[in-house]
Structure 1
Amino acid sequence: MKEIIGSLFSTGSIREPEGWLRKFLLLLIIGITIFQFYVILFSAMDPFLHNSIFITFMLAITFLVFSFNGTKKGNKVPIYDISISFVLIGIGVFMMANSERFLTRWPLADPLTTMEIIVGSIMLMIVFEVTRRTLGFGMLVIVSVLVLYAFFGHLIKGGFGHEQYNVMQFVDQMVYTVNGVYGSIASVAATYVFFFVLFGNLFNASGGGNFFYALSKAVTGRVAGGPAKVAVISSGLYGSISGSPTADVATTGSFTIPSMKKVGYSPVYAGAIEATAATGGSILPPVMGSAAFLMAEMTGISYSTIAMAALIPGLLYYLAIFCQVHFQAKKLKMAGYGDETIPTVKGVMKEMGQFMIPILVLVITLEQGLTPVMGAILASVATIIVSYFKKETRLTPKKLFQTMIETTTRISPLVAVCAAAGVVAGIIQVTGLGGKFSSLIHAASGGSIFMTMLVTMLVCIIFGMGMPTPAAYVLTAVLAAPIMIEVGIDLMQAHMFILYYACLSAITPPVAVAAYAAAAIADANPMKIGFLACRLGLVAFIIPFMFVYDPSLLLIGSTTSIIIAIITATIGVITLAAGLEGWFGVKLKKWEQLILIISGILLIYPNILSSIIGLIGVGLVLVPKIPAFVKDFKGQNIQLEQAAE
């Protein structure tokens, strides 16, 4: 009994079915891929029908590739998972066969049949199980509590009560309307997520990840702390495409963490650098992970507008990490790679420069106003084409099949996120919980903008414990965004604020998924990695507060105010990094560090008075140390010139 209960608290492990099940799985994967391209390129299928088919068939795949829990090792698929998979396929066929009724009926006014109630109830139970299996017990608890609230909330006296719902009404809202499992959140999984994850996997399978790593190594490999700087750059580049901190750590961290340890970095510091750099990929355009697509769906703001707004904060995040790594390396006299292991930029571009083409295709299509989905499709096609430029990078049919399997495996948890989030959002909407929770936040914050942001930040980090970024964003956005807007925060700033902290939950203890992934490679304590990663990523914890008070850092406002904000924030980030690491050409005293940290924060805040005060602090501490810094910089510059030859 103890083992059974314990197994419910662990997520499943990935397996590869064998025999006829493998062929059946491949058939499902090929079928859903063809279906997706057909719907996007040639069909005007209603989103509800598209979502219902995509979600049911993707979940059918999920039950074949995800085991019941982490202790179920091996590739054998038990009969109960096979049965659930076939049930899901049956539900998908049922939704297709009755699509005209579901698209034309009046919800609640037109009662469901007994069969429809049974099918809907089974679908919801399957969603609960796939949530536990792929996302963990924490997300299941949140969903379960909300379901109980939907059924028994009418018994609560006062403002948190609501009208009574029976099983038919609940199933109707959660399964057969756009409020639940197949609603607008599911559209994100069925469009943006599918095609961008496919692009990311194709890009990596063809050698694009190796290109990012080699280019980063060529640029910074020779300088002090070279492996750490390679980790920052390569993880940022790869993360901006993959959108998954854990996938980024697993991919680039397997190279960078051992290299950092080899030149003298402690396992904790090496893991923290990789975890922090990988996490930032979710806030760095062009892809930004699936949470940005969810933001576009929930706010009505175009994805391209969101990506542009996130550009400067994302670059400042990586500038801060890079500067901290640099100052730390100089202070500890860290070495770079050995000369014999470092390529030149010219050599890398000659050998692998073709991988810039898919990135350019994606950026140009987005800039030209095409939909992000079309941009991802064209970038995927470009990736397949450039892979054939060299024999060793070709995406052969076998590689393509394997990539599609990896794509659906990676998408499975995100599909579960969107299905569960659809239920959460639906319950919050039909019970009016969002408004009630907003009132609670308003009462806790006293109507103060700063306190509202502080409470929202804490809620987002709590929801993000062990959960993927999209789930943390959706939950917080539905509950907290309305009150942020009510106290006077703009729609873009409110949702961008929540998006940032949803991303940062990946490195925020006690459950920091990126830190745990890095700890496995670095062989270090994940909690220590998480706390150090938070310090390295401190700028990202500060910037959201800054762009709420003044949106210049989001490229909103006059050209003059935007330019000034970028310049002062850049100086502020460098200043903050010097203060945190205690180095600027020479070792800094404690009081100098304190002044620089305060000055850096004042400079990041886009305000004339705070910037002037910050510059005075910089002048007081750093101006006398400029000769030492220049001497340091010249030595580094020579090394960079050698790398470019």
Structure 2
Amino acid sequence: MIKKNKVKETEVVSERKLAGRVAAFVTIFAIFTSLFHVWMNSASLMIAIKKNALHLGLMLGLTFLMYPATKKSSKDKPTVLDWILCILGVSVGLYILFTYDSLVERSLIPNKLDYVFAVIAIILTLEAGRRTVGNILPMLSICFILYAKFGYLFPGKLAHQGFSWSRILTRMYLTDGGIFGVTLMVSASYVFMFILFGSFLNKTGTAKFFNDFALAFAGRLRGGPAQVAVMASGLMGTISGSSQANVATTGSFTIPLMKEVGYKPRFAGAVEAAASTGGILMPPIMGAASFMMASFLGIPYIKVMYAGIIPAIFYYFAIFTMVDFEARKIGLKGMDKSKLPDLKKVIKEEGHLMLPIVIILILLVKGLTPLYAAFFGLIAVIITSMLRKSTRMNMKKFMEALEEGAKSAVPVATACGVVGFIVGVVSMTGLGQVVALNIMQLSFGQLWLALILVMVASIFLGMGLPASACYIITASIAAPALIKMGVDPIAAHFFAFYYGTLSAVVPPVALTSYTAAGIAGANPIEVAFSGFKLAFAGIMIPFMFVYSPILLMQNVVAWKLILAFITGLLGIISLAAAAENYFFDILKVYERFLAFAAAILLVKPGIISDAIGIGLLILFISFHSIRIKKIKETATIT
């Protein structure tokens, strides 16, 4: 437990537990923030930079009231300095609102006051990021800002002429090429509205419905509660877009169940962490990075959503298979039917809670924007909740949903603001093209090696960054290299998105695993490594869709898609067996090697590679089955 506390303290200071008048003020502030965003994203005709500025200003204000500066700061009320920073945070947003028109009239030539507010905005954004998502992202952003200034000091191809401080300040604060760029635009619109949508769904009892449905559907399967955790986390992922929110919501229910039937606390936490991580990959409402991907690629979100279907199926199939092998290994069975809810009754009494998600899907499929879908999804939640007394929202729940929605959006918004510096510098300096060229040179033009380099870079970046920040950086710097090497653009961006997501279970900084460890009462480091092992079978999935973009619904030909899908599932089974070191029994070294080799060959599409991969898989299963049969026969004779 000491290790757990140490990790958390070095990453993010816990949110304050406010009370009294201060808590009431923050509640009112958060409710106003949510209502303002609903108005801003529906009836308002405000231009993007003003909307982004107000979004950041409100989020900064909430940050300094909700999050203490250090672990030694007051945990129950803001300090005088926090109140000053809160006022300044709101002010930097209002300043853009009231002065941007005059700035345009001045042909974007700043005055001294503009520079003053630019400095304040940059400092406050970095500090807010430090408080909410940890030190690494703000430090990385500072490095990029210094690179923009002192680029002439760097060696070789990384060198550039450097920019003046006035140019940097102007770009970062007074244009949409810095803090108020695409990342914050996505946060202010799509992400905030879908977070609010998820908050309203939770208040209607949708999380309970997902748990009941998963328990009724999967509880009798081998490993019962573990498979319930996989299914419930996948369902919850359709609306939350947050791995840690998934753990907190479903883990409090599934982890105790897993421990009750015989899973060790370490493994129970790991199952929930690995399953919850996939929630970011699960359509229709994926993680914040998916909306940014749509903006970066200039395509409708519905295309990103379609592209995410098969990778999400593959990921959860991989977790399901790993859990099944573990259940076989330790001899676990499904839960007793008498302890499970009736599936028909669950659907009859709570199934109406799925209607808002269905409505959002229909609106997206019809080609309407995510913003439009989220707005009408919110209305649908309120209306459908009225269909049953048990799910009906009263005024208290309504206000709580507004409050929780705004508070949940704070870490995402601050991270998007901080990462705006990185995106801005990459754009100013052309760093993305330089890195892309270097990756191509380091990989000697070999795509498989370039993919491994980008994978390693994404995982290392993700160790200290939120998934959305990791994706943005990787997509800005490394994805261009893959595209230049002939990779489909959406596959290149999904590759970055996927490994940024997996960072949530990659030790040593595996925040989702630490959250699950707290619920399981287990050692967080052990949970982190066990969670990574469970997610390991999913490691090969991005390589599959890079080599076979048809898995992302690109240029679909029915028979090719079916073939790629089937060989992909076989590859996942092979890798899961090799990673878990189990199939019908513990594997011999040569059997494990055959399973791993089959998995690698099934990653790359092609008649020859697929045929050899399937051949090796058949060989592995044959050798393994014959050996197990002989052992059983010997045991019977004895």
State the match for 1:70 in structure 2: 71
CA contact (8 A) 1:13 1:69 kept: no
Deviation at 1:389, TM superposition (A): 2.7
Deviation at 1:570, TM superposition (A): 2.2
CA contact (8 A) 2:277 2:502 kept: yes
Report the secondary structure of 1:41's partner residue.
coil
Larger mean CA deviation between 185-194 and 350-359 belongs to 350-359
State the match for 1:337 in structure 2: 335
State the match for 2:570 in structure 1: 571
State the match for 1:169 in structure 2: 167
Residues 164 and 567 from structure 1, CA distance in 2 versus in 1: closer, same or farther, beyond 3 angstroms? closer
Structure 2 gap ranges (5+): 1-6, 629-638
CA contact (8 A) 2:318 2:538 kept: no
State the match for 1:598 in structure 2: 597
Deviation at 1:122, TM superposition (A): 0.6
**Cα deviation 1:458-478 (Å, max 9, x = unaligned):** 111111113110010111111
Deviation at 1:578, TM superposition (A): 4.0
CA contact (8 A) 1:494 1:548 kept: yes
**Cα deviation 1:494-533 (Å, max 9, x = unaligned):** 1111011000111111211111111222222333322332
State the match for 1:188 in structure 2: 186
CA contact (8 A) 1:585 1:626 kept: yes
Are 1:383 and 2:342 counterparts? Answer: no
Deviation at 1:561, TM superposition (A): 1.0
Report the secondary structure of 1:42's partner residue.
coil
Deviation at 1:590, TM superposition (A): 4.3
Instruction: For 1:53, give the aligned amino acid.
Output: L
CA contact (8 A) 2:179 2:418 kept: yes
Instruction: For 2:611, give the aligned amino acid.
Output: I
Larger mean CA deviation between 332-341 and 192-201 belongs to 332-341
Residues 25 and 372 from structure 1, CA distance in 2 versus in 1: closer, same or farther, beyond 3 angstroms? same
State the match for 2:632 in structure 1: none
Residues 519 and 66 from structure 1, CA distance in 2 versus in 1: closer, same or farther, beyond 3 angstroms? same
Residues 19 and 518 from structure 1, CA distance in 2 versus in 1: closer, same or farther, beyond 3 angstroms? closer
CA contact (8 A) 2:92 2:120 kept: no
Structure 1 gap ranges (5+): 1-5, 630-645
Residues 105 and 526 from structure 1, CA distance in 2 versus in 1: closer, same or farther, beyond 3 angstroms? farther
CA distance in structure 1 between the aligned counterparts of 2:149 and 2:185, rounded to whole angstroms: 27
Instruction: For 1:330, give the aligned amino acid.
Output: R
State the match for 1:642 in structure 2: none
State the match for 2:631 in structure 1: none
Deviation at 1:61, TM superposition (A): 1.4
Q: State how many pairs are aligned.
A: 621
**Cα deviation 1:248-302 (Å, max 9, x = unaligned):** 1111111111211121112221111111101111112111110101111111122
**Cα deviation 1:561-611 (Å, max 9, x = unaligned):** 112111222233334434444555566544334323322343343322122
State the match for 1:641 in structure 2: none
CA distance in structure 2 between the aligned counterparts of 1:493 and 1:484, rounded to whole angstroms: 9
State the match for 1:11 in structure 2: 12
Match of 1:519 among 517, 520, 528: 517
State the match for 1:323 in structure 2: 321
Residues 148 and 572 from structure 1, CA distance in 2 versus in 1: closer, same or farther, beyond 3 angstroms? closer
State the match for 1:137 in structure 2: 135
CA distance in structure 1 between the aligned counterparts of 2:216 and 2:103, rounded to whole angstroms: 57
CA distance in structure 1 between the aligned counterparts of 2:385 and 2:259, rounded to whole angstroms: 33
**Cα deviation 1:223-256 (Å, max 9, x = unaligned):** 3210100010001111232111111111111111
State the match for 2:62 in structure 1: 61
Residues 574 and 437 from structure 1, CA distance in 2 versus in 1: closer, same or farther, beyond 3 angstroms? closer
Are 1:126 and 2:124 counterparts? Answer: yes
Report the secondary structure of 2:505's partner residue.
coil
State the match for 1:632 in structure 2: none
CA contact (8 A) 2:537 2:576 kept: no
CA contact (8 A) 2:537 2:572 kept: yes
Larger mean CA deviation between 521-530 and 539-548 belongs to 521-530
State the match for 1:221 in structure 2: 219
State the match for 2:41 in structure 1: 40
CA contact (8 A) 2:34 2:405 kept: no
Deviation at 1:436, TM superposition (A): 2.6
Instruction: For 2:179, give the aligned amino acid.
Output: V
Residues 117 and 580 from structure 1, CA distance in 2 versus in 1: closer, same or farther, beyond 3 angstroms? closer
Match of 1:410 among 405, 408, 414: 408
**Cα deviation 1:46-76 (Å, max 9, x = unaligned):** 1111111111122111211111123435321
CA contact (8 A) 2:426 2:432 kept: yes
Instruction: For 1:564, give the aligned amino acid.
Output: L
Percent sequence identity is 36
CA distance in structure 2 between the aligned counterparts of 1:560 and 1:104, rounded to whole angstroms: 58
CA distance in structure 1 between the aligned counterparts of 2:326 and 2:479, rounded to whole angstroms: 38
CA contact (8 A) 1:280 1:318 kept: yes
Task: Return the TM-score normalized by structure 2.
Answer: 0.92
**Cα deviation 1:138-178 (Å, max 9, x = unaligned):** 11211121222222223335432222433322111100011
Counterparts of residues 126-525 of structure 1 (less than 5 Å): 126-156=124-154, 158-525=156-523
**Cα deviation 1:322-377 (Å, max 9, x = unaligned):** 12212321232213334432112112112211112112111111111111122122
State the match for 2:634 in structure 1: none
Residues 571 and 385 from structure 1, CA distance in 2 versus in 1: closer, same or farther, beyond 3 angstroms? same
**Cα deviation 1:543-578 (Å, max 9, x = unaligned):** 211221221211223222112111222233334434
Residues 157 and 221 from structure 1, CA distance in 2 versus in 1: closer, same or farther, beyond 3 angstroms? closer
Report the secondary structure of 2:62's partner residue.
helix
CA distance in structure 2 between the aligned counterparts of 1:457 and 1:324, rounded to whole angstroms: 22
Deviation at 1:539, TM superposition (A): 3.2
Instruction: For 2:43, give the aligned amino acid.
Output: F
Residues 24 and 580 from structure 1, CA distance in 2 versus in 1: closer, same or farther, beyond 3 angstroms? closer
Residues 292 and 628 from structure 1, CA distance in 2 versus in 1: closer, same or farther, beyond 3 angstroms? farther
CA contact (8 A) 2:306 2:553 kept: yes
State the match for 1:96 in structure 2: 97
Instruction: For 1:92, give the aligned amino acid.
Output: G
CA distance in structure 2 between the aligned counterparts of 1:385 and 1:624, rounded to whole angstroms: 58
CA contact (8 A) 1:570 1:604 kept: no
Deviation at 1:190, TM superposition (A): 0.5
Larger mean CA deviation between 346-355 and 518-527 belongs to 518-527
CA distance in structure 2 between the aligned counterparts of 1:10 and 1:321, rounded to whole angstroms: 27
State the match for 1:640 in structure 2: none
State the match for 2:82 in structure 1: 81
**Cα deviation 1:12-56 (Å, max 9, x = unaligned):** 321254444344334433333233222322232211111111111
CA distance in structure 2 between the aligned counterparts of 1:584 and 1:11, rounded to whole angstroms: 40
Residues 583 and 129 from structure 1, CA distance in 2 versus in 1: closer, same or farther, beyond 3 angstroms? closer
Residues 423 and 8 from structure 1, CA distance in 2 versus in 1: closer, same or farther, beyond 3 angstroms? farther
CA contact (8 A) 1:232 1:273 kept: yes
CA contact (8 A) 2:67 2:132 kept: yes
Report the secondary structure of 1:75's partner residue.
coil
CA distance in structure 2 between the aligned counterparts of 1:625 and 1:439, rounded to whole angstroms: 46
Residues 486 and 593 from structure 1, CA distance in 2 versus in 1: closer, same or farther, beyond 3 angstroms? same
Residues 345 and 604 from structure 1, CA distance in 2 versus in 1: closer, same or farther, beyond 3 angstroms? farther
CA distance in structure 2 between the aligned counterparts of 1:316 and 1:124, rounded to whole angstroms: 41
Residues 596 and 156 from structure 1, CA distance in 2 versus in 1: closer, same or farther, beyond 3 angstroms? closer
Instruction: For 2:160, give the aligned amino acid.
Output: H
